[in-house]
Structure 1
Amino acid sequence: MWKDKLILCDGEQLRHKGSKTAGFMGETDIDTYSIVKADGTETGMVKVEDHTAVKGFRRTITVVQTDSNGKEVVHTSFTPN
């Protein structure tokens, strides 16, 4: 679902780098990914935050994609169905 928001070139894939939680109740899951070409060259990063509000349990997913220079390519938030 959130992967549809990314701008990837042909042959690029995501490689999971790590996960952590944030917030006083662990209400935000944060995953980071490298964007890599077939030869292993890293061309960017993706950070995905999945936040569940403590009051109301509403979820919001935020996706930030950056290129190899750190420039934002995608920055979007949405509520999954």
Structure 2
Amino acid sequence: MADWKEKIVLGNGEELRRVGSKSTGFMGETDVDTYDVVDGQGATVGSVIVEDHTAVRGFKRTISVVQRDAAGALIFSESWTA
């Protein structure tokens, strides 16, 4: 399985900057990581949200990635089981 960072769309000189993380769900079964996409000058040009959910029953793991530009338009969205 490819790493989620290989699936998103980054332009020349753009990189990810992690801005936060949290756990959600009644047992903290979902980890949510938030990233800004920044250009070479450090300006934010988009965002990426990664959710890594482990099912309480069966321990099935689902990863969801959503990437948006600065205006909020969807660039990439995909979910898969790990």
Same fold (TM over 0.5): yes
Runs of 4+ with deviation above 4 angstroms: none
| Alpha-carbon offset, residue 23 of structure 1 | 0.3
Alignment length (residue pairs): 80
Counterpart pick for 2:37 among 21, 25, 35: 35
> What does 1:2-81 align with in structure 2 at a 5 Å threshold?
2-80=4-82
Structure 1, unmatched stretches of 5+, are none
User: How far apart are residue 79 of structure 1 and its match?
Assistant: 1.5
Matched-pair identity in %: 55
Alpha-carbon RMSD? 0.6
Unmatched 5+ stretches in structure 2: none
| Alpha-carbon distance between aligned partners in 1 of 2:52 and 2:60, rounded to the nearest angstrom | 10
Counterparts of 1:42 and 1:64 in 2: how far apart (Å)?
Answer: 16
Q: Partners in 2 of 1:40 and 1:11 — Cα distance? A: 10
Give 3-state SS (helix, strand or coil) of 2:72's partner.
Answer: coil
Residue type at the aligned position of 2:22: K
